[in-house]
Structure 1
Amino acid sequence: MNSFTSEQTPVHASPAALRALIESRRAVRRFTAEVIPDEVIRDCLEMAVLAPNSCNLQPWSFQVVRDPALLKQLHPVCMSQNAAQAPLIIAVLARPDTWAQACKDIVTYWPEPEVPQRIRSFYAKTAPFQYNQGPLGLLGLFKRQLVRVLALRKPLMRGPNSKAQMRLWAVKSTALAAENLMLAFQSHGYATCPMEGFDEPRLRKVLDIPRQAIPIMLLAAGRQGEKGIYNPRLRFPLEQQVTWL
């Protein structure tokens, strides 16, 4: 059964099981040398891309680094931190540049024999207008002015109408996929550590990252090693961060 296209009866995990999984996830800084099987990595990536995302354009990509020589090159790029010595590192990339191809792919991979006309129309006209910023961002500038005028009469979605907004748009969806990815590894008994401490220009050279892709994190994964968790968990009081209206 294709998990991406089949109709399924909704499955509800128990709150206790979900809480146990989430609470068990910690940022692990030391890993054993045990290699994660490819089938486990693939399963985790399949769960990652089931994350909700804007307009279903799935603006992400992943570079799976398993080669020992390449991992060795990444270690100094990651400030030589212990977590970067994991047997697996996945570069999680936000892709504000893939929306046009994604609009075509929606129609190509539609999970029903016939693509509804409203879907064809949306991804042929509405979505391209919404996400295209034009040469030098000039179309985005025009759209910002147009929205400013039209919004005087009714509420409107105000973006993304600039290249900076497109970067944020892609990062938000990719972050959701990254959380799925971490919990997926946790469900298989593997630990993870999301690393933001890396030298991006050097990272781009080592991994040959596309120019417009945004590395939002390097995810180290593997079996938790001895003294892999440095400190007890600390979260601020919920009342400090939540407003009930």
Structure 2
Amino acid sequence: MNAKAGPTSLPEIDVEEFRKVVRSRRSIRRFTDDPIPEQVLEDCLELATLAPNSSNLQPWEFYVVQTPELKAKVAHACLGQNAAKSAAVLIVVVARPDSWRDHARQALKDWPEETMPPIVEKYYRKVAPIHYNQGPLGVLGLAKKAAGLAVGLTRPVPRGPYSHCEMKIWATKSTALAAQNLMLALRAHGFDSCPMEGFDECRVRKLIKLPAKGLVTMVVAAGRRAENGVYNRQYRFDQRQLVHYL
């Protein structure tokens, strides 16, 4: 992907094709032996990284497990689920609540235009180092929370993240959006996926040599769906129960 590419005009979009992608995406429990072509996998991962994310700090990483021996071990750590055992590839989707400082510096360094708007430069140089920094033992976060409670009595203010725990939530929200992009991209290419939360995180972390502060958000099994890959008919609760118009 060319990070310095300029803006382009909006393409024509066929909503029915998008609807087909969304409606045909299912959590697939069994895959065929067909591999995912390298160029397809690379495209899906690029589309994943185009997901919206907080302050464009991109707090995610993707560990693509393809080698048979390691894939078998990760599948075992995923409790031996059929989706994990039969997948062509396993993608460990990781949230990085600790990468914000380096990524803020990188945003300044890699800005894609000749001139960076002053407000953007100020944000990455001054605002982000205060907003996301929790300080030793979370002391700065507690101070920011107290200040936010006081100022918030008279006007709207950002409410957090105020702790290392809230930073984990912050990173996970953006990472989950990237994972959804990844799964929809796979479906658009004619492949499928299964996002798995059932895994032994300690074992997965050890197998992929994950840095200490990385969080395994999910393990995505990917491949071409087998005929018996869908276990049950899809259903959702009544939309009126869950959508509220105010």
TM normalised by structure 2 equals 0.96
Tell me how far apart the structure 2 counterparts of residues 37 and 146 of structure 1 sit (CA, whole Å): 52
Tell me how far apart the structure 2 counterparts of residues 61 and 106 of structure 1 sit (CA, whole Å): 17
Instruction: Provide runs of 4+ in structure 1 moved above 3 Å.
Output: none
Q: 1:212 maps to which residue?
A: 213
Q: 2:110 maps to which residue?
A: 109
Contact 2:4 2:113 survives alignment (8 Å): no
Amino acid in structure 1 at the alignment position of 2:161: P
Mapping 1:40-55, distance limit 5 Å: 40-55=40-55
Tell me how far apart the structure 2 counterparts of residues 96 and 53 of structure 1 sit (CA, whole Å): 12
Distance 1:35 1:4, change over 3 A: farther
Q: Which secondary structure state, in structure 1, belongs to the residue aligned with residue 115 of structure 2?
A: coil
TM-fit CA distance, 1:60: 0.6
Tell me how far apart the structure 1 counterparts of residues 6 and 64 of structure 2 sit (CA, whole Å): 27
Tell me how far apart the structure 2 counterparts of residues 143 and 168 of structure 1 sit (CA, whole Å): 17
Contact 2:89 2:221 survives alignment (8 Å): yes
Q: Percent identity, aligned pairs only?
A: 47
Amino acid in structure 2 at the alignment position of 1:55: S
Q: 1:93 maps to which residue?
A: 94
Q: 1:34 maps to which residue?
A: 34
TM-fit CA distance, 1:215: 0.6
Contact 2:34 2:223 survives alignment (8 Å): yes
TM-fit CA distance, 1:3: 6.7
TM-fit CA distance, 1:12: 4.3
TM normalised by structure 1 equals 0.97
Amino acid in structure 2 at the alignment position of 1:120: E
Amino acid in structure 2 at the alignment position of 1:2: N
Q: 1:136 maps to which residue?
A: 137
1:61-107 Cα shifts (integer Å, max 9, x gaps): 10011101100111210111100121100000111000001101111
Amino acid in structure 1 at the alignment position of 2:201: E
TM-fit CA distance, 1:244: 1.4
TM-fit CA distance, 1:33: 1.6
Amino acid in structure 2 at the alignment position of 1:45: L
TM-fit CA distance, 1:117: 2.3
Q: Which secondary structure state, in structure 2, belongs to the residue aligned with residue 204 of structure 1?
A: helix
Q: Which secondary structure state, in structure 2, belongs to the residue aligned with residue 79 of structure 1?
A: coil
Q: Which secondary structure state, in structure 1, belongs to the residue aligned with residue 11 of structure 2?
A: coil
Task: Name structure 2 gaps, 5 residues minimum.
Answer: none
RMSD: 1.3
Mapping 1:69-88, distance limit 5 Å: 69-85=69-85, 86-88=87-89
After TM superposition, the structure 1 stretch with the greater mean CA deviation from structure 2, 4-13 or 97-106, is: 4-13
Q: Which secondary structure state, in structure 1, belongs to the residue aligned with residue 218 of structure 2?
A: strand
Tell me how far apart the structure 1 counterparts of residues 101 and 189 of structure 2 sit (CA, whole Å): 35
Paired residues, number: 245
Task: Name structure 1 gaps, 5 residues minimum.
Answer: none
